[in-house]
Structure 1
């Protein structure tokens, strides 16, 4: 199994003076997987990304990237690309010139480096000859992704790649990342956007105060969350409320932070109790027109896990 790991970290610790940024972190990222990294501000996410990119070295622990142990040198391992805190660009150069300069720094020929191809992949063909200083945040993020793609990475490390993206830009980025994973590239994606993580990631790691509080498949994260609030829209709201009141493990919630009206019912229940409620509604002849969590399972579990870590419970 280890031969399939793009990242294997065990007991990683990193301190900055008296501040413990990472405290015994373990992390496994499989090749061909998009792995989400989430946590509150100051949790240690950026420090961990920096270690993967060779921008920092751990004080203790063992880190292997693409099967090779990481030493004490400040250098990105071969086959790794990405950015932290936004991509570095030359503002006076065009998008195409930025990529050509990067290729030249690596000693390659810009004419055969695939610059036009990566610009097309991220949706920047129409602005390829515009100067980067006029780019929006989202366009700069996409140009940074294009720069990473030029290296044909086997591990791609990205910090908030959807930051500032409009729907079209987000579509391009999602398509690129999905294709890379399908081709065997491992992607480590840090984001505060839970929708992006749920759409892209097969596994997530949640970090709080420098420690891993959860790491595993998204479906396990949702299952481990004991209760969620769900919106129910049915053909007979009054009957649905009666059924919900009688269903074991289900509570009707009158103040769930969502719009309340005569047609909408909000219940709080673990997954097993919710499944039973749906069966009971069908048996009573109540049609279920909409069933959705008020807060996504990932966001609910994220909040619960990080709050538990911060309070020391």
Structure 2
């Protein structure tokens, strides 16, 4: 049996005057899955997120959310939560007061226990009684997530939820999102950060100039990166350089480091050639200390898919 869908969109179009923001978009997000949404500025991501949250209506196409067809604004079924362009908060209220007010407006449980639980889940208990006008961007993002959690969402739509987060805060938010997915919540995560998408998403849709240029498993997208530049740090840089130059499919791009014994080679190669080089290094007794892509495979594929296109919005 097919996995139930949190979102099924087919042929979605949206224009603003003469500007086509979304051009026949197809999107499917399964319940319990974290689906990434990426694209350059002006690709149409914000417009699409607005449609999913019921903030606007598509001009054409078919949109189903949580099994219900959506044909007008503010008509999304219960169980949809999230934010676009950052959460809307009352700066003069404390974090606790904000959540209580937002819960009441949304018809959700506004009890102290529910509000306190949401604050604890996103790691804001210690600042619960501080006014939000003094909150950092990262703290505001976490409070917006807490507000979304009050409705026990079955579909969560988030726009750059890791903005402004330090490493500990980002790890905390990632943990929350993974737990929600394990409990069956479908999540759409829009982000410019490839590391967030790689850490959280099993699938990704990439938009460019209002069109889908890729949609599918993250692994399949990364495979399209083909040959990449890699940093190669070994116990013997000179021997490693000779072996690299003698390995089919590998081109030595350069070397970094001020000391000859600490130089990091930069090589350009597809994965099979890189595997062959690693095997030759091991056989030659050269210790491999670091092997990392200069640009991640996902980011390389993203750039290859979107750079030739010109954004429209």
Gap runs ≥5 in structure 1: none
1:89 match: 89
Change over 3 Å in CA distance of 1:285–1:155 after alignment to 2: same
CA distance in 2, matches of 1:310, 1:44: 12
Matches within 5 A, 1:147-296: 147-254=147-254, 262=260, 263-296=263-296
Q: 1:121: Cα distance to partner?
A: 0.7
Gap runs ≥5 in structure 2: none
CA contact (8 A) 1:54 1:77 kept: no
Deviations 1:43-83 (A, max 9, x none): 00000101110111111111111122212243333211000
CA distance in 2, matches of 1:310, 1:280: 43
Q: Secondary structure at the match of 1:20?
A: strand
Q: 1:270: Cα distance to partner?
A: 1.4
Matches within 5 A, 1:124-143: 124-143=124-143
CA distance in 2, matches of 1:261, 1:99: 56
CA distance in 1, matches of 2:310, 2:90: 40
Change over 3 Å in CA distance of 1:76–1:90 after alignment to 2: farther
How many residues are matched? 309
Q: 1:168: Cα distance to partner?
A: 2.6
Change over 3 Å in CA distance of 1:104–1:233 after alignment to 2: same
CA contact (8 A) 1:52 1:157 kept: yes
CA distance in 2, matches of 1:215, 1:259: 40
1:50 match: 50
Change over 3 Å in CA distance of 1:235–1:260 after alignment to 2: same
CA contact (8 A) 1:38 1:207 kept: yes
Q: Secondary structure at the match of 1:123?
A: coil
Matches within 5 A, 1:70-85: 70-85=70-85
Q: 1:26: Cα distance to partner?
A: 1.2
Change over 3 Å in CA distance of 1:232–1:127 after alignment to 2: same
CA contact (8 A) 1:96 1:129 kept: yes
Q: 1:260: Cα distance to partner?
A: 7.5
Q: 1:189: Cα distance to partner?
A: 0.6
Q: For the aligned residues, what is the CA RMSD?
A: 1.8
2:24 match: 24
Change over 3 Å in CA distance of 1:208–1:293 after alignment to 2: same
Q: 1:177: Cα distance to partner?
A: 0.6
Q: Secondary structure at the match of 2:142?
A: helix
CA distance in 2, matches of 1:269, 1:43: 30
